[in-house]
Amino acid sequence: MSLRELIGQHLIIGVAGTTLTNDEKKFIVDNNIAGIILMGRNCVSPEQIRNLCAEIQSLRHKMKDKAPLFIGIDMEGGRVHRLKPPFTQWPPLKLVGDLDAPTVAFHFAQRMGTELMSVGINLDFAPCIDIFNNPKNTVIGDRAIGSDAQHVEKMTSALIRGYIKSGILSCGKHFPGHGMTVVDSHEELPVEEADLKRLHDVELLPFKKAARSRVDMMMTSHILFKNIDPKNPVTLSEFFLKKLLREEMKYKGLVVTDDLDMKAMAKYYDKEEIPVLAKLAGADLMLYCNEPASPPAAIEGLLNAVAQGRLTEDNLRQSHQRILEVKKIKLLSPDPRPLEDVMEIVGNPEHLALADSIRKGIMPDGLLNE
């Protein structure tokens, strides 16, 4: 395996449209890319999404690792919801939290995951397990389960169990907690006052629960905690990713960055340097959602870092092995279901009824315990 192919298995990238271009196919294959994130621009109908996922997965047979690709999406419910009807339109997580019923949270995640899996999406960048502890925080708002740490912790476990039951990979975000911020990291780098004791007492509780509940990935936040690591935002902080998440919290899953093109990163660091700093800090997977020029630049940056001796091949091989292990264990049937099955699963009446009950604040009837 070439160094370029080894590096490529650390990237999840966006694509331009509803099918792959020849250039995109060539880039994915030649660089052994780990996975694709689907955005709103990529999603039109169940049939189109199913065909796109099948097209993406067919590339694995030509790639060096021959491993299934991650096909991820941001599907939290509410305003973070990429899929249009006839997919079930899930309500925001806050309304699930308001019912305070782990069984409802479990079925919410399980049924959402089942619809995604049917069309070939195998990774949901959810649940959002930030605690909504600042009313001015419009970035998170109703994306959060609630404002009480113990309540969020309890519901986190149920949501992750639901995703596991559906077969989809889940991702807890945004480590170590985005609930206090008022600055949107899409536009600027948030700076937080919280110290480590505060994080352990409050913000980290759901993330610790997520780790114990076998969440597959943790997504890093682009936040600078000036009283903990005054130099590095979490995504680029060895303290947060290696010492806190890996060593203290004993987290064994994959660490994925939030989108590295967000301005919290792009305004302060060189495009080729960002993935190098994230990798050195302890990230396994680098996420690039929107900018076509960024993944090639990331690969060049990482190649140069190895050539300069800043990053070792051994470091890359360790995370490469972690990534492949997850794929080997979890992505056993990566291809989408037949279209007739998809159309029975997507927008299933039971799913619609559950979403409607949650939206109305009514405990759904007939839910079996997990």
* Residues assigned a catalytic role: 186, 258
Question: Radius of gyration of the chain from Cα atoms?
Answer: 19
Q: Which of 330, 302, 326 is closest to 6 using CA atoms? A: 302
3-state secondary structure (DSSP) of residue 30: helix
Task: Give 36's strand partners.
Answer: 13, 71
Q: How many CB atoms lie within 10 A of CB 26?
A: 13
Q: How far apart are CA 187 and CA 166, in angstroms?
A: 34
> Using alpha carbons only, what angle is made at residue 360 by residues 358 and 362, rounded to the nearest 5 degrees?
65
In the DSSP assignment, the letter for residue 309 is T
Determine how many CB atoms are found less than 10 A away from the CB of residue 231.
9
Q: Report residue 308 CA to chain centroid gap.
A: 31
296 sits in which H/E element: helix 294-307
Distances 340 to 58, 118, 186, 298, 360 between C-alpha atoms, Å: 20, 10, 39, 40, 31
In 3D space, the residue among 235, 239, 238, 214 whose CA is nearest the CA of residue 223 turns out to be 235
CA angle 318, 289, 184 (to 5 degrees): 105
Report the C-alpha dihedral over residues 133, 139, 141, 146, rounded to 10 degrees.
Answer: -50
